[in-house]
């Protein structure tokens, strides 16, 4: 059953930071009505990035991807269908296929520089949240929007 406490892991990639898009991207998730659970700005280690993208380790772009992904804000959002909705808000992996109005559709042009990561399943979201955040970093509070959703 769909749960209002579903969580997703979103990472703004270094080019998203350089283009000054952090505020705009965070705003989209806030406006949609998702609850901010955790956020930090960090320089990820190579080991962490390799673990995060372990399913892509045999792809030709893997080494370049690890090199590209060094820093950015990482965020946990919570809400009804947040994983699927988050992916819709991101757009397709390749910005060329992403519709205007989506984050990748509006702000980037090439697949190797697509400015944002979002979990692709509830299961992967849980793995990624545990990889990037400690339990103490996940903040517990009741959102005033909760009763309206
Ligand atoms: P996703 O980010 O939409 O989930 P994945 O297939 O999981 O897409 O790929 C992870 C990341 O790897 C992409 O967001 C993109 O940065 C990079 N990537 C995927 N395909 C290519 C490619 O063909 N060339 C270069 N980079 C790629
Ligand atoms: Mg993916």
Q: List per-block mean pLDDT (blocks of 10 residues) for the chain, which spans 149 residues.
A: 90 97 98 97 96 98 95 94 98 98 98 98 98 98 88
What is the structure's pLDDT at 1?
A: 63
Q: Is 59 annotated as a binding residue?
A: no
In terms of Cβ atoms closer than 10 Å to its own Cβ (0-12, 13-18, 19+), residue 125 is buried
Whether 117 sits among the annotated catalytic residues: the reply is yes
Residue whose CB lies within 8 A of the most ligand 1 atoms, among 16, 110, 112, for a mutation test = 112
What is the structure's pLDDT at 146?
A: 82
The dihedral of CA 26, 30, 122, 134: what is its sign? positive
Mean of all residue pLDDT scores within the chain: 96
What is the structure's pLDDT at 45?
A: 96
Ion ligand 2: residue ranges with CB closer than 5 A: 120
What is the structure's pLDDT at 34?
A: 97
Q: Is 107 annotated as a binding residue?
A: no
């Amino acid at each position: 059953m769909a749960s209002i406490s579903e969580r997703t892991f979103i990472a703004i990639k270094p080019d998203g930071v350089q283009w000054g898009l952090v505020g705009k991207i965070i705003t989209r998730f806030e406006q949609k009505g998702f609850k901010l659970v955790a956020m930090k700005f960090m320089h990820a280690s190579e080991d962490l990035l390799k673990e995060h993208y372990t399913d892509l380790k045999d792809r030709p772009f893997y080494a370049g991807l690890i090199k590209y992904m060094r820093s950015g804000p990482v965020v946990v959002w919570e809400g009804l269908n947040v994983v699927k909705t988050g992916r819709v808000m991101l757009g397709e992996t390749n910005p060329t296929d992403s519709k205007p109005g989506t984050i990748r559709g509006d702000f980037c042009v090439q697949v190797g520089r697509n400015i944002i990561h979002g979990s692709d399943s509830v299961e992967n979201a849980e793995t990624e949240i545990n990889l990037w955040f400690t339990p103490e970093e996940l903040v517990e509070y009741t959102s005033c929007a909760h009763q309206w959703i």
